[in-house]
Structures are given as structure tokens and as C-alpha cells.
Structure 1
Amino acid sequence: MHLFKLPAIPVSPALHAEIEALLGPRESLSGFVQSAIEESLARRRQQQVIDHAQAALAVAALPLSVLVVDDDEFSHTLLREVLASLGVHAVHSAMDGRSGAQVLDQMQRAPDFVICDMLMPETDGIDFLGQLAKRQYQGGVILLSGEDSLMLSIAAEVAVSDGLKVLGSFSKPLRRQDLADLMGLAHEA
């Protein structure tokens, strides 16, 4: 809305008399209106700050969620157990990159972390990372491979250049302490 397009506000004789009674001898109606507008805007700005802070607290209070994309059932089981021992119980699973993208699309909110194997049939980790980049995924990405450390390095470089936040790349199995450190979780030996 442009201020020059504001409509005139009709003032009835009764309202005019009430305003004059409230205004001091040196106070003008325009000064009174300007002061009321400034106070209203200040209250709205303050409410926006409160609303943003409450939204941030609500998100921070949500339990951590993780999407594990790996074609190895044993890796899923192991990661689920390690994550549970760290207090993470919202673990979603996919057996390849294509189903990982489908799971991601079905989630109400993006997971905080994605743990992704690089070598999978159908749609591999590199393709899935491309899907994450297209979706402008903002969470942490942890890369795994059971075989090829060179592929891990290349995948990490590509993912970072695509705007993903790669927290680390590891050979399987991922150690509990490494996972806790990457996710910023406390861990006891």
C-alpha cells in the first residue's frame, strides 16, 4: 500500500470534540496521529520479533530427524541403533537415491541430517546428492562408502560446490563417536 493512496478518515463532530478534549493545548491532531502510528508500528515490529523467536524455539524443540539412504540393510540397522543410543529416534530409511528422494518429498519437514551411501543400485549417492541440491537442502550431509575413498572425496567436493553442507565422508562402518561429533550430540564411551 502506498501512503499517498490512504483514504481520508471522516471525523464526526462527536469524535472531533473527544479528540480536542484529549489533546493538550500545544498538541496538534497531526502530531497525535503521527504519534499513534509510530506507537502502532513499534508494537507490530516488537510482535514480529516475538513471533520469529517463538518460531525458532518451536523448530529447536522438534526432535532431530535423520534420513539414511543406503542399499545395505545391515547399515540401516546399525545406524538406527547408533542414532537411538544418541537420542535420535526419528530415523527415515531409503534403499537407494530414487526412494530417498521420494521419502524426502513425503516428510513434513526436511530432516536435520542425511546419511548417504555412495554406491547403490538404481540411483546412486551422487544422483541423490544432486536431488538434494535441487531441493536446496539446508541440513547436514554425511557421506559413506564401503569401498572407494576416492569416490567419497569427489562426491564431497561436488556436493559442496552444489551448495550442500557436507559434514564429513567416511568408510563404513561409521563410528558412533564420529557420528555424535558431526551431529553435535553428547556421547559417552
Structure 2
Amino acid sequence: MRVLLLDDDPFQLAMLEDMLEDLGDFTVFTANAAQAALAMLQTSPPDLMVCDLSMPDMDGIEFLRHVAEEGYDGTVVLLSGMESGVLKAAERLAMAQGLTILGACAKPVSAVELGDLVSLARMHRRPRRTA
């Protein structure tokens, strides 16, 4: 399964990548800026995207709007250090744009919670299109 991790904090990216390594065999891509993640979506769309909502170059809501406009059909997990009300509002907005949101988690996400969300992503996984 292909996973894209988006967070501007290098420590968070490394922690998430380590957790995924412990959970199974994944092809993991990381981005520390929304623009870089959008470029990756064009070339290598992931099955699961784990996305921080608070980034310096583009906030998570704007990023998710772009992702929806691009027709992303994978699953998304939202992460944030913001209060739970903001996280839930972002989840509702992203779902209203047609994205499949598996969860909205407070940082730091636990390994158990991430494992449960990865299991959900596996169930939602769509077969890859071949050219």
C-alpha cells in the first residue's frame, strides 16, 4: 500500500514513518510542504494520505480542497495539534468535498490508533489502474 505523509515537522514525519514500518510493508512518501505533496499526488497517488492541518505554506483545508479538485480517490487521515472542534470541522469540510476521511486525530497519534486507521485504509483500497 502506498502512503503519503504530509507534515511540516520533521520529527512527526519520522515518527509516523517508524510507526508505519512497524505496522507492515508500505511504500511511504513524505512531504514537509503542501505544494510538494500536491506534486507527488500528480505522479504517484497514494492509497492513504496522512495530512497535518497546520502547515506554513498552505493550511490543511486549502490543501484538501486542491486534493479534492484533483479527483483524489484514496483515503485520508487528518492530524492536528489544534483543538478537537477545529479538527472535526476540517473533517466535515473535507468529506463535503467528496474525500474519504478515515479519521481526524489529535497529535501525537498513537501507534494503535494509526494501526486501526491503516486497517480501514486497506479495506477501502481500490485496485490500481493500469495504462
TM-score (norm 1): 0.61
Cα distance change on mapping 1:83 and 1:153 into 2, 3 Å: same
Instruction: Give 4+ residue runs of structure 1 displaced > 2 Å after superposition.
Output: none
Secondary structure of 1:75 counterpart = helix
Tell me whether 1:119 sits opposite 2:54 in the alignment. yes
Name the structure, 1 or 2, with higher relative contact order (CA <8 Å, separation 6+).
2
TM-superposition CA deviations, 1:74-121 (whole Å, max 9, x none): 1100000000001133111111211110121121xx211000000110
TM-superposition CA deviations, 1:12-66 (whole Å, max 9, x none): xxxxxxxxxxxxxxxxxxxxxxxxxxxxxxxxxxxxxxxxxxxxxxxxxxxx111
Q: Which amino acid aligns with 2:50?
A: I
Cα distance change on mapping 1:97 and 1:85 into 2, 3 Å: same
Gaps of 5+ in 2: 121-131
Gaps of 5+ in 1: 1-63
Aligned to 1:7: none
Aligned to 1:74: 11
- How much does 1:181 deviate? 1.1
Secondary structure of 1:66 counterpart = strand
Select between 173-182 and 153-162 the one with higher mean Cα deviation. 173-182
Q: 2:42 aligns with which of 100, 105, 109?
A: 105
Secondary structure of 2:21 counterpart = helix
Secondary structure of 2:63 counterpart = helix
RMSD of Structure 2 on Structure 1 (CA):
1.3
Tell me whether 1:180 sits opposite 2:111 in the alignment. no
Query: Of Structure 1 and Structure 2, which has the larger fraction of its residues in helix?
Result: 1
Cα distance change on mapping 1:151 and 1:96 into 2, 3 Å: farther
- How much does 1:136 deviate? 1.6
Aligned to 2:68: 133
Q: Residues 26-175 of structure 1: matches in 2 within 5 Å?
A: 64-107=1-44, 110-175=45-110
Q: Which amino acid aligns with 1:77?
A: A
- 2:9 and 2:36 map into 1 onto residues whose CA distance is 14
TM-score (norm 2): 0.86
- 1:134 and 1:88 map into 2 onto residues whose CA distance is 30
* Identical amino acids, percent of aligned pairs: 38
